[in-house]
Structures are given as C-alpha cells and as structure tokens.
Amino acid sequence: MKLFFSLLFFIALPNIALAIESAPRELLARVVNQLESQSFRASAVYIRPSGMEAIDIERIEQFERITYNNEPIHQRIRTPLKEVLVLPAKQSFTEHRGKMIFNSLSELHKNPSRTNQVYNLFVSEHFDRVAGKEATRLSIISITQDRYSFIHWVDADSYIILRTDVLDENGELIERMVFTSFTLKDNQQWLGKKSTQYEGEKQQLLTYVEKTDSGKVRFTWLPAGFDVESIEAVYDKTQAVSYERVVLTDGFAFIDVYTHKTAHNAKLTRGQQLDTLHVYKGVVAGQEVSLEGQVPYAILQKIALNIKPK
C-alpha cells in the first residue's frame, strides 16, 4: 500500500522538489478569503489506505453541506455556530450548537509568526489541471518530523481548493482528496437552501459554552508549537455538563481532546490506523479521555499519557 501511494505521488508530482517560494502567504490569503464568499457544488473522492470514499459538497458562503456515500454519517452540515450530523438509518440527527469550528487554513493565515516556526509554505511555478481547471500548488510542509504536510491545488480563478494531498511525518503520501466535478454557483440561485432543519427525530442536542480554564484536565507535555486554543463545556439537553472539549493547535494542525470516550472511531487497515485521522481512547489517572486529530497516533498517545486530572 505504501509503495502504491509513493508511486502515485511521485508520478503525479515530478517537480515537487523544485517548488519555489513565490508569495505563498498572498495565495493563502486569497484561499481564506473565498471561504467566506464563494458558493459552489462539487463531487469529490478520497483515496486512503482504508479505501476510496465519494462525497458531494455544497457550499454557500459560510454554510457547508457534505453528503457521504458509504459512511455511518449521511450528512455533515456546518455553519459558524452550528454543526449537524445526520444519520441515515433512522433519519435522525445530532445537533452541536455553539461548537467552535476550527479552520486550519484560516488559523494559518492569522498566525504567520507562530506557524513560520513549524511550517514552510511554497507555491509552485507552474499550473496543473484539476477537474478541468487550471490550478497552482500551495504546499504547507512541516519542518519537524512529528506532524503532517499538506499540498493543496488551488483553482487559479476562484481560489477554491480542488485537490489536497497529505504527507505523513516521513514525507509519504497517505491521503488524496480530489474534485471530480466542480461548478461555481450564484448565491441568488440558492436562496432558502441554507437549511439545518430536518424532519427526522433529533437524537441529541449538545450545547458548547466557552470556558477560560479546564475544570477536569491539565497538560504536562505538548508537541513543539502546540498550545490550548479553546476550552468548551458541553451540556446535554438536561443542561448538565456532560464533558469538556479542549482544542490544541500549533496554528495549523489541531487536536480535539474530550474528557470522555466519544463514539468516534478511526478506520482500520490491517488492524492499524493508517489514514490521516487518528483517534486515541483511554483512561488516564482515572479520567476517561478521547483524542482526535490529523497527527501521528504516537503524538496523541504521548499527549494522553501526559494528561493530569485537576
């Protein structure tokens, strides 16, 4: 599998080692700006060690709906203040209200002095064709060997990302997302479609409230550049505190730390977590924890082992 991905990567990117730095921050700024202004419909495919997955994407400015074709979650809908997960079997859904939605590219753009210590940014000197569009490469390469690097193919006209390759800590390709079709839309055509309402049964309502300090855990070790970005108390419908969510970030990569065992699971390939998303679950000093993020599993494990209860 590693050989397949390595060959796939180097055949597709013969000049990756020759990429030159040419105003990458300016290109990043344009990409981030379109996240709040562009509307489009697209189909895409993920290629991962665990297999292929097709998705459909609708975005209307800051409203995004992703439909999965072979996942336990049927749809994921996001707005700046809400995330709704729709389950196909019972037409039920879970609503996460007030949840902080972390956008890696926006954070990277906002914190250049911080992220320059951990990542190098590059822009390719030529264009490639993706989904029938001309695209240039924006590469975000980890300086350290304990986190992932991302290479984005950006549409030269709309600055929408058409393809993303993820490299592991050893520089090997482990995931590819590529648009197979892509159509820009006029916002007026989609009036009334930014709905998060469903006729199915609301399975669960979780409300997130920002806190200044965790009442449950503290961290005695974090990877270089990582710090606590936000802390949220999560309430269920009875208004009782169910658990806490702590977001750790280096200004680009981020890790969700939950003070309970979540239902989230990483896909396994030959009994191992080989995709980009890793999940660690365990009990540390009597405290149940779940850590999730697009970082190597060993990093999640080391953070967890250095969590102390308050």
Domain 207-309 fold is: Phosphorylase Kinase; domain 1 (3.30.200)
Token pair, residue 42, equals 């697209």
Give the global pTM: 0.86
- Please choose, from the candidates 281, 278, 284, the residue with its C-alpha nearest in 3D space to the C-alpha of residue 299: 278
Q: Is the pLDDT of residue 265 over 60?
A: yes
Sign, CA torsion 50/66/173/278: negative
How many whole angstroms separate alpha carbon 26 and alpha carbon 136? 13
Confidence at residue 25, expressed as pLDDT on a 0 to 100 scale: 94
Degrees, nearest 5: CA angle 143-147-150: 80
Which tens digits make up the pLDDT trace of 13-57?
A: 444 433 444 499 999 999 999 988 888 999 999 999 999 999 999
Which tens digits make up the pLDDT trace of 137-196?
A: 999 999 988 999 999 999 999 999 999 999 999 999 999 999 999 998 875 555 445 555
Residues 244-263: what's their mean pLDDT? 94
Which tens digits make up the pLDDT trace of 220-243?
A: 999 999 999 999 999 988 877 789
Radius of gyration (C-alpha) of the chain in whole angstroms: 20
Residues above pLDDT 70, as percent of the chain: 86
Are 194 and 85 within 8 A, CB to CB? no
- Amino acid letter, residue 12: A
Sign, CA torsion 225/229/231/236: negative
Residues 258-281: what's their mean pLDDT? 91
- Domain boundaries along the sequence of the chain: 2-190, 207-309
Residues above pLDDT 90, as percent of the chain: 58
How are beta strands 202-211 and 92-97 bridged, if at all? Answer: parallel
pLDDT band at 264 (very low <50, low <70, confident <90, very high): confident
Q: Is the pLDDT of residue 80 over 90?
A: no
CATH (one of 3.40.30.10, 2.50.20.10, 1.10.287.110, 3.30.70.1890) for 2-190? 2.50.20.10
